[in-house]
């Protein structure tokens, strides 16, 4: 991929990404590995990550929406792609034409699909989605068997999978997660699901990190694969390391006198004469405004503080006594020399989850792959 020169970027280390895939692969054994690449692969870049995952031997991809699946198919990804989100009537033709698998979570949706594909005389590959306690989408376990029989009877469906989603698996030993696993296990052990091979899948990152019995036939860990195992994750998964960094280059440097206000609203006033440098990235890129006067970035491996309110396209730092020149590289997330800005610190300052930070880096930042 080529980009016009831009002074700020997201860097993705594909070698580390492939190492993470290896770590998970050896942990899950012979189970299938489904990588969820929704929301621009958690900010890492949908198609480059989809292609790299396929080459690294991932078995399945999953996305939230039809459009994400189409982009992957147009990028020539050939492995199965499961669209997780509930489908809409006007998407059914494209789901079929782009060879995407999708979720069936009600008889209503099943009948819509059947009415569209009967004339095509084509079987569609679907996964039956069961709600074991997330209250988002999915049929209740009590109706899953009758819906499955209905799907088989219409003759339009090849039910290749049955799955559910864990609501609280980011915590170890969570009673609700254990209940969900138990409900799912009891359901999929029903003889009706043993007559032909059906992929049973439940575990997200929290599942594989904390609950071995949630792994079934396929796992869907995404956050962990991008290098963020939970601190409480089983030991081998602590090998997972982040592969994404956010970097920029100093665009302007000046000396500011004592008692001077900096940026919108003058939310910062200099306590003495300081060296101020400007960084050309802002909340329009996903470097959030709530980091104003709170975050630090790395300059020559040292942490230096953000001063003043973060603007849409730029913000300022107090460069202290460090040498600083226009063009010097700075790191907003990730490592520089012996310094590191962790995703969790970043998210804590923004009072949100690290997931939201990752998928918040906008398209304006080019993705550079190492
Ligand atoms: C997003 C998602 C995942 C991946 O979750 P992680 O916590 O990133 O592992 C798995 N399954 C479903 C249904 C999802 O929506």
Task: Identify whether 211 is a catalytic site residue.
Answer: no
Residue 1 has pLDDT above 70, yes or no: no
Looking at residue 347, its pLDDT comes to 98
What does each C-alpha distance from 354 to 58, 104, 240 come to in angstroms? 24, 30, 16
Question: pLDDT for 337-354, tens place per residue?
Answer: 999 999 999 999 999 999
Q: Which residue has the CA at smallest separation from atom 3 of ligand 1?
A: 204
Could you tell me what percent of the chain has a pLDDT over 70? 99
Identify the H or E element spanning 143. helix 141-154
Number of Cβ within a 10 Å radius of residue 325: 9
The DSSP bridge partners found for residue 253 are 277
pLDDT at 2: 59
pLDDT tens track for 130-181: 999 999 999 999 999 999 999 999 999 999 999 999 999 999 999 999 999 9
From the CA of 64, how far away is ligand 1's center (Å)?
9
Dist CA 136 CA 132 (whole Å): 10
Residues 6+ apart with CB under 8 A from 101: 80, 81, 82, 83, 125, 126, 127, 160, 161
- Is the Cβ atom of 221 under 6 angstroms away from ligand 1? yes
Q: Which two tokens stand for residue 342?
A: 């962790």
Average pLDDT, the chain: 97
Mutate to test the pocket of ligand 1, among 39, 203, 220 (most ligand atoms within 8 A of CB): 220
| 38 is annotated as an active-site residue | yes
Does any ligand 1 atom lie closer than 6 A to the CB of residue 84?
Answer: yes
103 lines ligand 1 (CB under 6 A): no
pLDDT digits (tens, 9 = 90+) for 273-313: 999 999 999 999 999 999 999 999 999 999 999 999 999 99
Which pLDDT tens digit goes with each residue over 192-238?
A: 999 999 999 999 999 999 999 999 999 999 999 999 999 999 999 99
Ligand 1 pocket test: pick from 222, 244, 354 the residue with the most ligand atoms within 8 Å of its Cβ.
222
Whole-number percent of the chain with pLDDT over 90: 97
Q: Out of 27, 38, 60, 211, which one is annotated catalytic?
A: 38
CB 365 within 8 A of CB 4: no
- Is residue 3 scored above 80 in pLDDT? no
């Amino acid at each position: 991929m080529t980009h016009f020169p831009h002074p700020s970027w997201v860097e993705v280390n594909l070698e580390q990404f492939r190492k993470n895939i290896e770590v998970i692969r050896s942990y899950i054994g012979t189970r299938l590995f489904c990588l969820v690449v929704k929301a621009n692969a958690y900010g890492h870049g949908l198609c480059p990550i989809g292609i790299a995952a396929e080459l690294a031997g991932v078995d399945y991809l999953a996305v939230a929406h039809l459009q994400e699946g189409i982009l992957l198919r147009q990028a020539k990804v050939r492995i199965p792609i499961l669209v997780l989100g509930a489908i809409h009537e006007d998407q059914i033709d494209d789901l079929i034409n782009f060879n995407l698998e999708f979720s069936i979570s009600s008889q209503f949706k099943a009948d819509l699909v059947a009415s569209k594909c009967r004339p095509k005389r084509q079987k569609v590959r679907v996964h039956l989605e069961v709600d074991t306690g997330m209250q988002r989408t999915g049929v209740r376990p009590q109706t899953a068997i009758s819906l499955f029989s209905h799907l088989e009877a219409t003759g339009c469906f090849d039910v290749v999978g049955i799955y559910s989603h864990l609501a609280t698996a980011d915590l170890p030993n969570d009673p609700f997660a254990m209940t969900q696993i138990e409900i799912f296990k009891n359901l999929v052990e029903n003889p009706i699901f043993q007559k032909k091979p059906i992929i049973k899948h439940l575990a997200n990152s929290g599942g594989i990190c904390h609950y071995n019995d949630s792994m079934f036939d396929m796992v869907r860990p995404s956050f962990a694969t991008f290098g963020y195992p939970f601190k409480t994750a089983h030991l081998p998964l602590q090998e997972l390391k982040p592969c994404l960094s956010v970097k920029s280059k100093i665009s302007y440097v000046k000396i500011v006198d004592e008692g001077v206000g900096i940026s919108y609203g003058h939310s910062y006033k200099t306590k003495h004469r300081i060296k101020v440098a400007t960084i050309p990235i802002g909340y329009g890129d996903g470097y959030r405004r709530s980091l104003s006067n709170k975050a630090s970035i790395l300059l020559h491996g040292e942490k230096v503080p953000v001063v003043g309110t973060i603007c849409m396209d730029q913000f300022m730092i107090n460069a202290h006594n460090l040498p600083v020149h226009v063009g010097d590289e700075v790191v907003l997330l990730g490592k520089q020399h012996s310094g590191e800005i962790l995703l969790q610190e970043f998210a804590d300052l923004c009072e949100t989850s690290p997931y939201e930070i990752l998928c918040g880096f906008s398209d304006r930042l080019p993705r550079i792959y190492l």
